[in-house]
Amino acid sequence: MSQLANKYDALGGFYDFLTAYLEARPIRALREGIVSRADGHTLDAGCGTGRNLLYVPKDADVVGADLSRKALAVAETRAKRLGVPFLPMTADLAHLPSTEAQFDSIVCTFVGCTLDDPRAVYREFARVIRRSSEGAASGKGGLLMLEHVRVDNSTAFRVFSKVIAPLSRRLLHCDPNRNTMQMVEEAGFRITDTQAFLGGMFVGFRAVPI
C-alpha cells in the first residue's frame, strides 16, 4: 500500500471533519453544479468517502476509485443509503484497471491537488473516457472537475496559502499550487466551460476528449 493510501486510511472518517471548509455553501453549489452533469457509466475518481454521491443523477451508475479501502467503505455505505448504484474499486488513478473508452463521465473533485503525478492521471482519464457526440451536445458527461488552484495576485489565495495550505499539505498531501486546467488540456482534453469562486481560487470545469 502506498504512503498516500496509508495517510488516508489513517484519517478514516475524520477526513470529512478536516475538509468541512470545502462544503461551504458557494463551494457546495459548485460541487453540485459539476457532479450533477455526470451521465451514464461514471467514474468517481478519488471518490474518498463519497461526498459526490449526493449530487449524482439518479440514472447514473458509479464506479468509485480510491486508494483508501477505509474511505471506500464509508462511500459504499453512503451509496446504499442514497440508493446510488455504486461499485468500489481500490485503484491508483494513474493505472486504472479499466478498458479504453469505458466511462461516459469522470467526476474528480479536490483530488488533483493530492496527486503525485497529475499529468499521468489526466492521460489515464483520456484513455478510459468515451467520446460521445450526444454528451458534447447536451453539456453532460465528459471530465467534470472541481479544484482549488493557484491564482497569482490574489489576496484570498495568499491568505489560503499561509493559513490553510500548510495544514492541508501536512495532513492531506494537498498542494493547491497547480495549474490543473493547463495539465488537463495537455493530456488531450478541451475545456468547454468553467465556473469560479473566490477570484478563481476554486474552479469547476467540464472538459471533453479531443
Tell me: the pLDDT tens digits for 7-52?
A: 556 555 555 554 555 556 677 888 999 999 999 999 999 999 999 9
Q: Which residue has the higher pLDDT, 165 or 113?
A: 113
What is the reported pLDDT for 18? 46
Which CATH code of 3.30.420.40, 3.40.50.150, 1.25.40.10, 2.60.40.10 fits the domain covering 3-209? Answer: 3.40.50.150
Query: Among the listed ranges 50-64, 153-167, 169-183, which one has the minimum average pLDDT value?
Result: 153-167
| Strands lying side by side in the sheet with 189-197 | 86-90, 61-66, 41-45, 105-109, 142-148, 202-209, 189-197
The residue-averaged pLDDT of 110-136 equals: 87
- pTM > 0.85: yes or no: no
